[in-house]
Every structure is written in structure tokens, then in C-alpha cells.
Structure 1
């Protein structure tokens, strides 16, 4: 979730009627607003879901994980005529919805369409089962009990689904490098083996894939920082929110903030909260979601130093957050008048974890895909949410890397290398850590879940493994056709080429963004390609490359470049020398440029395009670095 929930400005086709009929298609294609009476009719009263007493010995599909992506995968597979077991490996869970209903993440990060027109009337991408669920809740933020009831309704409406909760552990059964079933240990210590035609891993952390031996990276390992991952959050609740208080809160959001009927974002001064442990906990501006019972949920506390794969560390995070939450509420009540009458009402049962494993699949979603707004022949979902990188430590800030218009998510990102019989859906699918900042949002994850359910049916019909399916263009065309017939919107919208992609140094920008050397912000205008580069940026770039490629770039460069304040100009000669030394080339500073160009490490076209060799721009520096990587066989595509 973002500090500020950015409102994309939809591009409207030049048809006056489009402005007139938008309210008519909002309910059909986008944002519904259900009355209390409609809600009572649509959903049964909230209650824990019932587990199957005697699971079958075989299912066509086993879906592991009852987060939104898992629910969607199970419903999708069941609607395609498959017998499905939906199993939850976290023994303490008794309701569906995971992060949304137990992590209390009750505000949605939506994939907004870059274009609204007569041909493309939907304001959001993908539609499908996500939209069915969305129409059972209310607005961009929702009541978590209502959300759980909506998930439960989707599942219980499908007779082909058996649900198994209160499980102590789930492990894959492997045969010939393929998952053929799961081994379950129940809460009473009894165990059973269940065979399956295929398995869909919808756990938050790709636990089944990892246990099966599928390769993955951890955190930001792909850019040389394996121990770095985004902060975790413990959502907390306040009560006493009347309509009057809600309106007062909306009026006080402050610069950069905003609101709608169910959500408020802003209150940037909340970041000044004096933490009881500044190295472990801090606040950012507030993201507030309203519930049906006069309470609000706030997603703004950031907790650091937690290993989400370690139960003891997770418990520590819960304890830190639960201790801090009432202190934060006291601060908010004193700092902001609209909060004065509110009362602290507890914390979520689970932490909101943003990042752990990133599976290595048949395709890996890259930052260049988002920068280029690429479509793919096997796209089974589309994203457009901003690349939101939350802070990694109490001393670092987050970043909005850029805002894509629309990009395709290939089916191949769901198919892990090495292990067959398995699809991975949700935030731990095959995404590099940076584009994961966009692709991790739950509506997109639910779209991948729907695709996985249909793929399981198609693979069974055609007697294909998922890997074979992922390589077959005719089979993928059929998959996309079935998804479309079943309510998915797989249309790529037309839109103009972004201005940043027209810059002469764009190739270098693709590389720099993929290595987290620069960011474009909410408006894609903060790259600073034409700004004067300085030695610190060069040094940071070289350090990044050494972290990512230690076997290629392992020369000690300490002391080779002086960092001054104010920054001195960065020259072409300095850059060529440091890059040469990084590569292990033994050369004097005044001979480095000739060495690098004579051996084509830096192209002459790049050198000829430099306007002032005595002062490189950021874009020119990025082009030089890109040349070195390409000529070393490292291509950022």
C-alpha cells in the first residue's frame, strides 16, 4: 500500500457520450456501491468456514493457501469442472481471505485502465472473478468481515470445492521432479496423503514450490541485496468513527492526500511520530479504510528487521507492533483534531508481509517490461499499478520507481523452473523484485489465480504438463480464449508512447531502472536524465554491479574516486577509468578511455553522443554502463 493512493487520470477517447454514460457502466464494469439492504441479501452472516470431514484420496487440483489468490484459483478450477481441494496450511486460520481478512489489509490497490472509451469502457483491468468479489464488498476500502463472507460465498457456491482448514503442515509429494500430491498433518497430529492431477501454490511465500525444490530468489537478491526486503506492517483499528468524524477526517488529509467514500490517504505529518524504537518501527502518512461498524483500519506502521519465513521473527514483529500501536493512536489523537474522540481497538491477527520469495519461472517479469508497457502472446493478466517499493530499513525511504500504463503478465511467470505439476500465483510468482512492487497487488494476484484454474483444466484435457502448455502457442491461445469467455478482460489498450521512452538515452534508462539506480516517481518525470552526473552516482552504480555480479566485477575500487561536497563534475575520463578498474583492466587513468573504446567495452556511438566530456549527464552515464554490461554479455532486455 502506498503513502498516497495515486489517482490515475484515465485517458478518455474524444467522444462526448463517454462522459454521459460513465455512471451507467460503473456498476457493470467497475466500482459498485452496495446498500446495506443489498449486502444482507447478497451475503450470509459472517461465520467461520466449515472444513470437509473426510477429504478424498484424489483431486484434480489441490490449491494450497486461502488468501484471495487461492480462493480465486479454487473457484476458477471448480467452474471448469475440476474437483478441487482448497487447503489452508496455517493452522490458526478459520476464515478465508488471508491478508485481506486476517491481515486487515482492507484497502485495494487497483489496476486502473489507461483508457476509457466506447470500446474500452471498464475503468479497471482484468475483471473476472476479482470483479465478482469486488461487487460483493463496498468500494476501494471494505469491511473485513464482509470480505470474508464474500470469499466464503464464492467458494460455497461451487459444489466441486472441498475446504480443509486447521491444518498443521502441508508438504508436496514429488515423483520424477513433479508434484503429484500433498502430505498433510492435521491439528490432531493425524496425517494423510492426497494425490492430485496438479497443485496451485497460493501461499503468500510460495512455500509449496520452495519445499518441492523450485528455484527462487529472496528479497532483493536479484539486484545484489539478498537480506533486503520491504518493511512489514501491523494494521491497527480505531473505533468511534461516526459520519461526522469521517467527514472531518476527510477535510484534514493535508497536501498530497485525498479520499473517497470508503478511503482516506494523507496525513503526511504522521511520519513525525516519535517511535519508542526508531531502529525497528516508524510511521508514514496514513492509509485509512472505513468499515461497517464505525471503525477504521490504518495501514501505516512499518516494522523492520523481521524475517517473514521465521515464525519466531514473525511473532516478534507482532509483539513489537502490538506494543507500539496504542502509542501511535495516542499520538494521532493529540496531533490531529478529527482523531480526538476515537479509541484504540486492537491490531490485526496477522502481519502484512510484502516480500519474501520470488520464484524463478519459465519467464521472469522485469522492470523493462513495465517501462516498455509490453504485451505478451501468453499474457493472462494485466497490471498498471505504480511500482511501489516500500522502505527497506528505518534509515531508508521508499520509492515509486515509475507508473506503467499497462503491461502483460505472461503465463510463464506462473510456471516454476525444475518442478512440474505446479503453478505459483500471487506475489511470489516469477517477478523480479522491482516489478514485484507493482505486480504484487492482490487484484492482479487474483487474476493470476483465475488463469491458473483454467490452465489446470486445459492441461488435463490435452494431457500437457504446465511447462509444455506454457510453450505451446495454440494451447495458450485457447487458454486466453477461455479466460475471456469466463469474464476476464485480456485487451491491451492503445496509448501514446511515454515521453521518457523517446529520450535518446532510453536504453541506458532501462538498465538504470532495472538496477534501481534511478526512479521516475508518480508522473514518470523524476529520472533526471539530463541532470549533471556526479562521482557518487558512478560509485554507487559500480557498487551495485559488484553486488550483482561478484564473479565478473570483483576488483577493489576503494580510493579510486574522490567524493567531494559540493559534488564535482563527473568526466568521461573518470568514468572510463573506474569502469575499467571494476572489470579488472590494469590501465592508467589517462589511457582508460582509449582502452575501453578500442576494445568496444564502450561504443563509439555512445562517446560521440556525449555533449560535454568534462561533465556527463545521468543519461550519458547510464548509456556507458549499459555498453559495458552488454559487451560483457549481460543484457537488460
Structure 2
């Protein structure tokens, strides 16, 4: 084990020295904080120049894998690097393997050019002014301290990943595997266990590589899927399997001199942070050539040390990441559209008149494919409640960011949690043992995935997976047995804390929306994607609703619970002149819900009684309505909650 992981020890003389110099501690700390803050500001040199470009360091590959390792990590994205480094530091012989044409560590961040982080910041104030305080530390923090900031140069990032891996003699890296297939055997009590990978090399030879544990860090959980782990796909848990967030191809612009950068970040509405900038929101108005395939959004911009910038803003629809022809078609669409996009930008923004299109990322940025069904599936209620879990291995606080799924839907920020825990059970698949899944395809419902899919969360989960492999081996238990032992999970958390993470219990005071009487209804509505609070959690529970909104909500509920709600709620709008402006009455709301449930509700005055008699509306909900002629959003959400509970038995808690 590396010395950096050894717990600190104080002898008596150290304690004595601490007491002797206690009086000077406050002033010394103040001076140190000031010096660090100045150094931080100078290092950023913002606005102005950048670091000098560095050459890309080579990451050597073993010619052939050994027959056995303690751990195999499949996938060299950031989560995979963290998992491999963690396993190796814990004394495990580790194979880090990837396929295709990859020879650069970092995957999405280095080959996908996604060079801006979506960090989960701590609710606690930072010690050093201007420096971020992250919830997920450990190996992620080590890597972050080597790069420029929340946006970074992709070569700097690749070299930082390379340094982490190269420092661990227990890691073998294997590039360009033609195929990776799990070796699955029957386990105890009829279960199945992954015991390694069949690795087909570029020359066509296949090697059976056995391991005590396999960590799937591929973006799409390819190993887990091949092993038979259950998944949902896209927005399937919301009733729309064919819908998923847009794919993006990041593009590069050259000609961004320091003077151009200064003008960019000085533009009204543009925010910036070191190497990052975001804004230019009127790029949503760009006249796309094909609304079925492509559109632009506001720009997320990250600087590069060669003076160029990388832009994450081009949204591509209908892309199947598992079909090479579909991916190539997406690139063809991007190659045709981006020259028009850049011309539009040059004409619209004076500071960009001399920039040039300088390339497309080698790999696409795929936000969403598979969602694993694990021992615990992270839910929207976890985020709404800012919930801790006893088996916490990572934390999240990033916005629940749902990107466009089509040209018509621009995406939304569902809410901004303060802090929630990701449990170990969310990286442990159901039905298959010997395998952990880290990254965006872990066990998250579609909506909380909008926050939990972020890379700092995935790197923390990767570090936990590597340490869990060591702990399971030492105790001779399976991952599933480990997941059910509070004692062993506590030991895992202590290991991780000694290794740089901070996995401590926490409690967040209930936010204002959680104290509202309609909160149980909000939980249901947010979980089904029909309530959105933005990044300020303004859910408008006391705002007036209207008949059209209620009907739209019920149409969404029908998708989520398709087998239960089979009727037509729009029939309740018959005869209403302006259903999107009229107040929502209890009669119309009850009628729409009853119609959606397939009940005969032609008499609106009797619709509420009809729902009550069928167990689809609680008397307490009706009694809490202040004005039956003017229902609020909160009133409507509570009625919807009752109907879903009564018809399906589902309670969102």
C-alpha cells in the first residue's frame, strides 16, 4: 500500500509542539490562506494567457495479458482509471483494458473532448477563497489538482491520467482489444458469477483472462449487458424506451487569442471560471438545416493551451451509439452543419469574426443509453430529500440536468439537490456477482441519472469499486455478501477515507419545498418527470394550475404507467374555450383523472366521488384543497399521487 494512504500518527513530542505553537496558529493559517489564494489567482491567470502546450505522454500496452489478475477493469474512461488505480494501490494485480482504437486514457474527457467538468460542490464553504470544495475527493481530487481547473486542456488531462496509472506497478494496460466478453459461470444457489474476460486481441487471438473481480467502466456497461445483467434503456422507466438525451460531438475553434477570450467573457450573459465560459444562449435560435437530426444550444466553452477552444453545444438526435453506421451518420451530419454554425457565429458575434472550425472530437459525447437495475436504484426522491445512505460511496449535488431529447424539447433543470449519497448497492448488479458497474450506466433511474452521471461521481464510485475488490478478497466474500454487511461496508468506508475520500454521514435541513403540505404529491410528480423546479427549486406548488396542464400531466402519467391508465384525459377539456388559461376546478381535475383511469366520468360534479369510491382520491386530499374552483399545482400533484397509488400501488418515497 502506498505511503500516502497510511494514517497519520502523532508522538508525544508532536503533541507538545502543537500546544507550544497554538498561539501562532490563527495568524499563520490566515497568512497561508492569503498566500494560497494569491497563488491560485496567479495560476489561473484569468483573463489572459494559458499554460504552454505539453506533448502527449505515451501509455505503453502489454503485448499480451497474463492468464490471471486479481481485478480486471474494462474501460479507460475516468471511472476506469480511478478503479484501476484504487485496486492497484490496495495491492491487487490489475488489468486495465480497452478496445477499438483507443491509446489515450480518459475516454470521454480526452477523446470525446468533454473538457468541462460538472462537479458536485460541497454545501460547506471552501477554506480557501476562490478554490472549489468538492464532495468527491480521493483520486478525483488528485487528478483535478494536475489540470487547469473546471475546464482543462485535454492533453493535460490525458497526461494526468497517465501519471496516475504509471505510478502503479500493479497495473497492466492493454489497448486495442478487438472484443471483450465476460466469462460467466454458475454460482451458488443457481446464481451466476463473472470470473474474468475472454480478450480477443487485434491479431485475432483470444485469451481467457481469469480474475476474482471485474469492474465494468465502459460508458455503456457493455460487459454487464453481455453477462446478462438487467437494464432499462433510455427513458424506458418513464414509458419511452425510444427517447434518450441528445448525443453531442464537441468541436474546436481556432483563432481565439487572449484578446478574443477577454471579449468573449465580457459579453453580457456569459459566465466564466478560469478556463471555462458558458452563455451565448441565443445560439438556440440558430436555424438548423434539419430539425429531425440536429440543433444548437447555448455554448459550453473550454480553453486549450494551444489557444483554441472546445465547444459542447451541437445536439444530435436519433443516434444509436451501438450502431457504427448511425454514429458515422451523426458525424456526417456534424461535418455538414458545423461550417454553417461557425459562419453564423462569426456573423452574429463581433468577437468571433476571425475564428475557424479546427476539428471534431474523435469520439461522440453520449449522455444516455443503458440504466442498470442494481441492488438499489437511485431515485428522484433520494435527491429531493437530500438523502444519505448507510452504504455511501460517493456524493452528488449537481443539477438534475435533462438535455434535449428532440428539437421540440429543449431540456430542463428538474432541481438542484444540496447533497445526496450514492450507495454501494447502486454499482452492484442484480442477478450477477463478481462484477461492479461504475459510470453513467450504473443503477440510476433516468431522471436522477441527469445528476449522478457526472464524472466526479463516477470516479468516486470507481475508487470505491477498486477498494471493494480488495476487501471482498480479504474476507472471502462476494460483492453481494459485502453489500449486506454493515460491518464490512463500514470497513470499506474507513479504507476509502484513509485513501483520501471523505465519506461521512450527513444531514441536510429540509428545504422549503419539503416542508410544504403538497410535498408527497411533488415527490410523485417529480419522479414521473411532470414537475420541474429549475436550479432554484422553485416548483410553484402554490401557483394556480389549469385544465390543460393537468391533462398534459395525466398524459405523461399514462406513459409511465401505461398498463394502468388507459383512458383519454383530454375528454375533460371538451367545451373549455381556453383550457391553458382557465382555472382548474376540482370537478375538471377529477374528471380528467377519472377519464385517464378508464372510469365513466361524463358527469363532472360526480367525478371526485367516483375517484374516492374507487380508491383513487383520498378524503384528506380533498379536505386540504383551499379553493375547489382554483386548484394549485400542489393540489393537482396530490390528486395525481392518490390516483397512481390507488391504481398501481406505486408510492414515490
Same fold (TM over 0.5): yes
Which string of whole-angstrom CA distances, capped at 9 and with x for unpartnered residues, describes residues 289-340 of structure 1? Answer: 0011111101111111111222211111111112222221122112111112
Distance 1:473 1:122, change over 3 A: farther
Structure 2 counterparts to residues 310-459 of structure 1, below 5 A: 310-459=323-472
Distance 1:458 1:78 in 2: 13
Does residue 489 of structure 2 align to residue 476 of structure 1?
yes
Match of 1:114 among 99, 102, 123: 123
* Counterpart position of 1:615: 630
Distance 2:35 2:422 in 1: 30
Structure 2 counterparts to residues 591-606 of structure 1, below 5 A: 591-606=606-621
- For the 8 Å contact 2:51–2:305, the answer to whether it is kept is no
Three-state SS of the structure 2 residue aligned to 1:285 is strand
- For the 8 Å contact 2:44–2:274, the answer to whether it is kept is no
Distance 1:16 1:219, change over 3 A: farther
Distance 1:16 1:410, change over 3 A: farther
- For the 8 Å contact 2:70–2:92, the answer to whether it is kept is yes
Distance 1:34 1:576 in 2: 58
- For the 8 Å contact 1:115–1:493, the answer to whether it is kept is no
Three-state SS of the structure 1 residue aligned to 2:291 is coil
Three-state SS of the structure 2 residue aligned to 1:628 is helix
Match of 1:99 among 85, 97, 108: 108
User: Whose radius of gyration is greater, 1 or 2?
Assistant: 2
Does residue 555 of structure 2 align to residue 539 of structure 1?
no
- For the 8 Å contact 2:126–2:133, the answer to whether it is kept is no
Question: What is the Cα deviation at residue 636 of structure 1?
Answer: 0.7
Does residue 650 of structure 2 align to residue 634 of structure 1?
yes
Question: What is the Cα deviation at residue 555 of structure 1?
Answer: 3.2
* Counterpart position of 2:20: none
Match of 1:549 among 548, 561, 577: 561
Distance 2:483 2:400 in 1: 26
Three-state SS of the structure 2 residue aligned to 1:344 is strand
* Counterpart position of 2:9: none
Distance 2:485 2:545 in 1: 46
**Stretches of structure 1 lacking an aligned partner (at least 5 in a row):** 1-14
Three-state SS of the structure 2 residue aligned to 1:136 is coil
Which string of whole-angstrom CA distances, capped at 9 and with x for unpartnered residues, describes residues 546-599 of structure 1? Answer: 222222222355534336425322221222233233333345533332232245
* Counterpart position of 1:585: 599
Distance 2:218 2:97 in 1: 10
Match of 1:143 among 138, 150, 153: 153
The count of aligned residue pairs is: 615
Question: What is the Cα deviation at residue 537 of structure 1?
Answer: 2.0
Question: What is the Cα deviation at residue 535 of structure 1?
Answer: 1.7
* Counterpart position of 2:89: 79
Distance 2:37 2:121 in 1: 13
* Counterpart position of 1:275: 288
Three-state SS of the structure 2 residue aligned to 1:489 is coil
Distance 2:214 2:42 in 1: 33
Does residue 585 of structure 2 align to residue 571 of structure 1?
yes
Distance 1:229 1:187 in 2: 33
Question: What is the Cα deviation at residue 31 of structure 1?
Answer: 9.9
Match of 2:141 among 127, 131, 135: 131
* Counterpart position of 1:12: none
Three-state SS of the structure 2 residue aligned to 1:328 is helix
Three-state SS of the structure 2 residue aligned to 1:200 is strand
Distance 1:117 1:324, change over 3 A: closer
Distance 2:599 2:41 in 1: 59
* Counterpart position of 1:5: none
Does residue 218 of structure 2 align to residue 203 of structure 1?
yes
- For the 8 Å contact 1:231–1:392, the answer to whether it is kept is yes
Which string of whole-angstrom CA distances, capped at 9 and with x for unpartnered residues, describes residues 86-110 of structure 1? Answer: 0102x11111110000000011111
* Counterpart position of 1:192: 207
Structure 2 counterparts to residues 170-249 of structure 1, below 5 A: 170-176=180-186, 177-249=192-264
* Counterpart position of 1:9: none
Distance 2:219 2:461 in 1: 14
Distance 1:510 1:119 in 2: 37
Question: What is the Cα deviation at residue 443 of structure 1?
Answer: 1.0
Distance 1:433 1:20 in 2: 47
Distance 1:76 1:440 in 2: 20
- For the 8 Å contact 1:265–1:287, the answer to whether it is kept is yes
Question: What is the Cα deviation at residue 269 of structure 1?
Answer: 2.0
- For the 8 Å contact 2:528–2:560, the answer to whether it is kept is no
Which string of whole-angstrom CA distances, capped at 9 and with x for unpartnered residues, describes residues 466-490 of structure 1? Answer: 1111111111111111110100012
* Counterpart position of 1:11: none
Distance 1:84 1:393, change over 3 A: same
Question: What is the Cα deviation at residue 361 of structure 1?
Answer: 0.4
- For the 8 Å contact 1:406–1:492, the answer to whether it is kept is no
Distance 1:19 1:229 in 2: 49
- For the 8 Å contact 2:75–2:216, the answer to whether it is kept is yes
Moved more, 238-247 or 570-579: 570-579
- For the 8 Å contact 1:71–1:151, the answer to whether it is kept is yes
- For the 8 Å contact 1:530–1:619, the answer to whether it is kept is yes
Structure 2 counterparts to residues 456-467 of structure 1, below 5 A: 456-467=469-480
- For the 8 Å contact 1:280–1:305, the answer to whether it is kept is yes
- For the 8 Å contact 1:114–1:493, the answer to whether it is kept is no
Distance 1:353 1:509, change over 3 A: same
Distance 1:95 1:385, change over 3 A: same
Distance 1:111 1:213 in 2: 32
- For the 8 Å contact 1:115–1:495, the answer to whether it is kept is no
Distance 2:34 2:637 in 1: 46
Distance 1:265 1:571, change over 3 A: same
Question: What is the Cα deviation at residue 193 of structure 1?
Answer: 1.1
Which string of whole-angstrom CA distances, capped at 9 and with x for unpartnered residues, describes residues 47-84 of structure 1? Answer: 34211112110111100000000011000000001010
Three-state SS of the structure 1 residue aligned to 2:247 is coil
Distance 2:182 2:158 in 1: 27
RMSD of aligned C-alpha atoms?
2.6
- For the 8 Å contact 1:309–1:356, the answer to whether it is kept is no
Distance 1:551 1:276, change over 3 A: closer
Question: What is the Cα deviation at residue 168 of structure 1?
Answer: 1.2
